[in-house]
Structure 1
Amino acid sequence: MPKKGTRIVCFSPKSSSKSNSVTKFSAPSRFGLSPKRPSFSQSVMDRTLELAKPVITKWNPETTTFAKVTSLFHESRGEAKDFIKCVHNLQKAMHLLVTENPTSDNLAVAQNLMQISMRRLQKEFYQILSMNRAHLDPESVSTRSSRTSIQSNSTSDYDDDDEDVDEVRVAGDSIVQVEDESSLAMADLKLIAECMISSGYAKECLKIYKIIRKSIIDEGIFRLGMEKFGSFSSHKNKKKNMDWEVLDMRTKNWLDAVKVAVKTLFNGERILCDHVFAVSESIRESCFTDISKEGALILFGFPEYVVRNSSKKVPPEKVFRMLDMYTAIANYWPEIESIFSFESSLPVKSQAITSLTKISEYVRTALAEFETAIQKDNSKSIVAGGGIHHLTIDSMNYLSLLADYSNILSPILADSPGDLPESSESPAPAISRRFAQLILSLLAKLDGEAKLYRDVSISYLFLANNHQYVVVKVCTSNLKYLLGDDWLSKQEFKVTQFAANYERLAWSHVIESLPENPAAILSPENARECFKRFNASFEQAHRKQSACVVPDCKLRDDIIKVNLLRKVLPVYREFYNKYRAKMGNERSIVRFTPEDVGRYLSDLLFGNVGSRSSSSSNQSSPHSRAPQSKTSF
């Protein structure tokens, strides 16, 4: 603390309605002249020194053991208030005297007392900050009040005799003990800070505050696990890309840390700083920025670090972790802007924005690579039974999960390519166009996969299955709101067309084997030929289609019950009932009852029929004799 020179803050003193009495000399001068009266400022200084000297010297930390080991504010808050008032009055008296008599000896005496008082307050300021670390931790501070309510009360605690620290104690009766202690400590710090700043000792006050409070921020960042990323330059000598598992673990930790850091650590520190240094905005800015800037840059620079150190071979699904980080910063952006509102805090907000930009670039690149991976898929593997391709499952699961981040993806994909059908009434959002483009790439790839089937009917069934899977995934996820009802209607119509083509190619010859009019009169010979044609076509169709599969129960019912059974079974039943008796006991002619036909058709499209039950082999195929148990429709 400087000891040379004087520090006098010039300000307008309050006018006083009462003046102190002026001391008169009792003896006349030798020359018969009255003695010179002391000036008003000299009288004020005399009286001020008389009152302040015993109070200030009592707490001189360099003269008495009591003052060295005892805390003024802890020992007696009333005496602490008197101490502050003495310093305040001493400042005003010095200001008044220096304008009238700058060479007065009393100024040196007053300055000495001022230095003693500043050393005392410096010591008190340090003790309160050190001894109340638990009560002044950011969590306690951030939960006790809002920065707005504290900042609005910027008047000095000693301006009014009725407004002192005791009011804080009264208010604290309604809150828990920890909050009460926090309030008292904050009030004491504010009182000391304002006194030191007005006395010209702001530098000494700020030095203590910054050292102690920055250590709390640094410790908080350390406990949140962010200390490892304090300097990106420390990783220059390491391999360019870290293992994703390592980055993923650290990213999960960051997602937990950022909430605590924004809501508690930095918010609490800003509240405390604004309260203690409410008297000066420039001091608040300098103090808070110096304390928080380094830790905040570490925190908000981490996403950029992850993007930069992520391998290009990171699995597509890992983009969700990037979106989680983007979401965290975006969700807390109002708090970030409010906490780091000072101009000197601009690098912190710039770093947060840079991280958002880097994540956006990463996500757009990841989606482009995902689309390329779909287009270049070269599995060339035929899905048994025309079932659902793994590419369809993986892609739609991925896209449906991505749709959960639609609010975040909207700004990220604002400039992305992609188109919805031209018949859309109004231009679709960029995110809708991008998802539509990705699904279009998938469907185009599925068209190529369908051509690998030798049986055209199964290729249509494959398309029906995969398009149906796409439709269901869209309907049961946020994709529905992105793509819209018009898009869905068009895809559902395509499923219907594919299913109809499958039915036509796979079963039309069975339907055509039956007479167009089952009620028409046929000769026994014609009826016998009709039975034979039906037997052959039905066995052939069943043999080909028994391995086919339709996983979606609604689509399966539409194909079998709604269409196929209605077209085959009523006609065959009427024909069977009319001509069965005329065929005698020729079981080779009448091989299937209507119940057999209904059961065999109903068992189709589950895959291998034999694998669905433990029935004997002669009951699993129409190529053996008809089972005795009948299924009625």
Structure 2
Amino acid sequence: MEENGEEKLIAAVRHIAKSLGRTDTMADDILQVFSAFDGRFSLDKLASDRSAPSHPAAAPAAAGREADDHRPPLERTIRTLDRQISRFVASERHIWSDAADAAAFLEAVDDLLATIQDLDAPADKPLLDRAEDLLQRCILRLEDELLAILRRPVGCGPAVGTPLSDGSDSDAAEGSEDRVPVATPVDDYNLVIDALPSGSVADLHAIARRMVAAGFGRECAEAYAVSRRGFVDASVARLGIRPRPAEDVQASTWIDLEDEIARWVKAVNMAFLILVPSERRLCDRVFASLPPFADIAFAAACRPAASGLLLFAYVVAAGPRDPVRLFRLIDMYEALRDLPPELDHLPSEQYSAALRADVAAGRRALGAAIRGIFVELENLIQRDPAKATVPGGGLHPITRYVMNYLQAACASRRTLEEVMEDAAIPPDPHHPSSSPSLSLQVAWLMDVLHSNLENKSKIYQEPPLSYIFLMNNGRYMTQKARDSELGELLGEDWIRRQMAMVRRWGNAYQRATWTKVVAVLRMDVIGGAVASASPAAGKATRERLRVFNAYLEDIWKVQDGWVVTDEQLRTELKLAMGALVLPAYRNFVARLRQAGEGGKQAERYLKYTVEEVEARINQLFDGGRRRC
């Protein structure tokens, strides 16, 4: 009875399959469902009497089904898998838009891979060719699904029913999977971003495992890298950096290029400190336990953007050695210098080593450009025309420019010292500017500037004005050095020598201008004459007064437009002149008034009081501004 009951049940199943299945393939699919649902409905049992048609007209079809049902198991499995996989491959919607479909498709792929492993190539070549053709279709669809998952907007999970192509509707296109997610700019570089949600990463890993198992690991890595490269490139572009031909970069004005360099520095930090480590982490998760393909995908995704950023550094470094470029080149150098420690954390030793080598080469190119700028600065000082003097012996523009330039440069002293020490060419003993020491480089520039100023001072027709000019420029150099790291670089000895030089120029000015004035008032020469009442003595005293007044007025007239730019130096110089002239003049006037009748007669020729002489001295060196 039990057997009759089972036979009736099997017969009922066959009837259902026959009734619902319009074709043999559909009927077989229905039988496959029953077989999977209940172990009593094995395919062998369900197909055992399908060779006995119910009426003669059904004989041909029954004969065909009988032949199919008695095929070898592997052939029957491939046929079944073909039906299952074809349904997924032909679908116009993404398989991964439905979790159940995705799981079923992956299971079918796993079964196909296992079946291929069971086939014997010489004996089962037709079956093997058919299975491999089916596998190829699977791989193509898996690759499409992988790209679709990668194109999902960040933060979005599977969208049930999402079509493969979303048409032309603008609203749909705005949120479609064809939109590549782009990283937003950040200020904190001490982080790692998750570019994809964990669910998408799990889906990608599942696909990658099947493609690698099928022998298409490189194709999987390359397809993955194409999409991720778009993400990285778009993220860098969003920071204002887009690849440009070298000739376009070199043709840019410095103002435009300076802005681009500022954006480049941010992009380098973003790319190498956030995007690259984040992409490495993502590759390791997608290609977990598949390390060769993780490295391939990572390199292909990140290397183009990294190479483009480094190429920009090479192009800028190859540009003119204009001193104005120094500070942006330092920014670029420091950005690349600080990267290698971060790159050491990349698990892919081969790629990180190559990347470190590229970064180091870019850094060396920038270093060579920086050293070249210092050479050009020396040439600029030497080329400044000697005949270009400054009215009133004031501060020369070349002095102001060089000192402010070096003061600003020394704010990056550590970097510049590193750049100079990295020079590959040994220094030329006959040319100090080639020294790898920053301190010697700067000291040499100071010597070149001094020499240039000495030549300029010789253009002035009045020797005292030459000394005023040298004092002004020498004092400025000293003050700029003492107020910054430039002084630490040059050293205290240099500052002391510079101050002593300024004092010597001051003494030279004093001798050239005021010594002859004081000599007129020497009492050992005129004292006897003042004390004498003779007409000759009175005449001599009057003559000396006339000469003194003439000297004073000549100094006032000639030096009226001369200027001492440093207030402290101006005060020191006036005090020194007053200390030299005023006591002698005061003593002269006192002796004159103490004299007899001759002195009283000579006193009538006193044109200036001591206070007026002091006022005249105090009105010097202000550039000719009108006095009260």
The alignment's TM-score, normalised by the length of structure 2, stands at: 0.67
Provide the rounded CA distance (Å) in 1 between the counterparts of 2:250 and 2:407: 32
Determine the structure 1 residue equivalent to 2:227: 212
Offset of residue 497 of structure 1: 1.5
Give runs of aligned pairs for residues 187-266 of structure 1, distance below 5 A: 187-194=202-209, 196-197=211-212, 202-203=217-218, 205-229=220-244, 232=246, 235=247, 244=254, 247-248=257-258, 250-266=260-276
The superposition leaves residues 457-508 of structure 1 with CA deviations (integer Å, 9 ceiling, x where unpaired) of 2222221111111112212233122112221111111112211221222111
User: Any unmatched runs of 5+ in structure 1?
Assistant: 1-22, 24-45, 148-177, 423-427, 616-633
Provide the rounded CA distance (Å) in 2 between the counterparts of 1:180 and 1:325: 27
Alignment CA distance shift 1:139-1:382 (3 Å): closer
Provide the rounded CA distance (Å) in 1 between the counterparts of 2:249 and 2:116: 65
Determine the structure 2 residue equivalent to 1:622: none
User: Any unmatched runs of 5+ in structure 2?
Assistant: 1-41, 43-72, 157-179
Q: Supply the AA of the counterpart residue of 1:208.
A: A
* Contact 2:582-2:613 within 8 A present in 1 as well: yes
Determine the structure 2 residue equivalent to 1:523: 531
In the alignment of these two chains, the number of paired residues is: 513
Give runs of aligned pairs for residues 529-568 of structure 1, distance below 5 A: 529=542, 531-561=545-575, 563-568=576-581
Offset of residue 440 of structure 1: 0.5
Offset of residue 189 of structure 1: 3.2
Provide the rounded CA distance (Å) in 2 between the counterparts of 1:453 and 1:97: 102
Offset of residue 286 of structure 1: 0.8
Q: Which residue of 131, 149, 154 corresponds with 1:128? A: 149
Alignment CA distance shift 1:179-1:477 (3 Å): same
Provide the rounded CA distance (Å) in 1 between the counterparts of 2:465 and 2:480: 22
Q: Supply the AA of the counterpart residue of 1:442.
A: L
Provide the rounded CA distance (Å) in 2 between the counterparts of 1:347 and 1:376: 43
* Contact 1:140-1:268 within 8 A present in 2 as well: no
Offset of residue 305 of structure 1: 1.9
Q: Which residue of 391, 396, 415 corresponds with 2:403? A: 396
Provide the rounded CA distance (Å) in 1 between the counterparts of 2:189 and 2:329: 34
Q: Which residue of 579, 587, 604 corresponds with 2:620? A: 604
Q: Which residue of 450, 455, 458 corresponds with 2:462? A: 455
Alignment CA distance shift 1:137-1:524 (3 Å): farther
Give runs of aligned pairs for residues 378-397 of structure 1, distance below 5 A: 378-397=385-404
Q: Supply the AA of the counterpart residue of 2:618.
A: S
Determine the structure 2 residue equivalent to 1:627: none
Q: Supply the AA of the counterpart residue of 1:205.
A: C
Which structure features the higher share of helix residues?
A: 2
Coordinate RMSD, CA, aligned: 4.9
* Contact 1:387-1:549 within 8 A present in 2 as well: yes
**Among the aligned pairs, what percent are the same residue?**
25
Provide the rounded CA distance (Å) in 2 between the counterparts of 1:86 and 1:501: 100
Provide the rounded CA distance (Å) in 1 between the counterparts of 2:224 and 2:196: 18
Q: Are 1:368 and 2:368 an aligned pair?
A: no
Offset of residue 604 of structure 1: 0.9
Max Rg structure: 2
Q: Which residue of 442, 446, 449 corresponds with 2:449? A: 442
Determine the structure 1 residue equivalent to 2:291: 281
More contact order relative to length (CA 8 Å, sep ≥ 6): 1
Q: What SS does the corresponding residue of 1:405 show, helix, strand or coil? A: helix
The superposition leaves residues 314-371 of structure 1 with CA deviations (integer Å, 9 ceiling, x where unpaired) of 6432333333322322233433554595424655444433333333333333322332
Offset of residue 431 of structure 1: 0.7
Query: Mean Cα displacement is larger for which, 193-202 or 372-381?
Result: 193-202
* Contact 1:556-1:605 within 8 A present in 2 as well: yes
Q: Are 1:469 and 2:483 an aligned pair?
A: no
Q: What SS does the corresponding residue of 1:132 show, helix, strand or coil? A: coil
Determine the structure 1 residue equivalent to 2:501: 494
Alignment CA distance shift 1:555-1:299 (3 Å): same
Provide the rounded CA distance (Å) in 2 between the counterparts of 1:137 and 1:128: 12
* Contact 2:427-2:436 within 8 A present in 1 as well: no
Q: What SS does the corresponding residue of 1:382 show, helix, strand or coil? A: coil
Q: Are 1:305 and 2:315 an aligned pair?
A: yes
Determine the structure 1 residue equivalent to 2:201: 186
Determine the structure 2 residue equivalent to 1:506: 513
* Contact 2:470-2:502 within 8 A present in 1 as well: yes
Q: Supply the AA of the counterpart residue of 1:459.
A: S
Provide the rounded CA distance (Å) in 1 between the counterparts of 2:225 and 2:274: 18
Q: What SS does the corresponding residue of 2:514 show, helix, strand or coil? A: helix
Alignment CA distance shift 1:140-1:456 (3 Å): closer
The alignment's TM-score, normalised by the length of structure 1, stands at: 0.66
Provide the rounded CA distance (Å) in 1 between the counterparts of 2:291 and 2:211: 16
The superposition leaves residues 384-425 of structure 1 with CA deviations (integer Å, 9 ceiling, x where unpaired) of 2222222222222332233233233223323475899x9xxx
Query: Mean Cα displacement is larger for which, 572-581 or 283-292?
Result: 572-581
Q: Are 1:569 and 2:582 an aligned pair?
A: yes
Q: What SS does the corresponding residue of 2:151 show, helix, strand or coil? A: helix
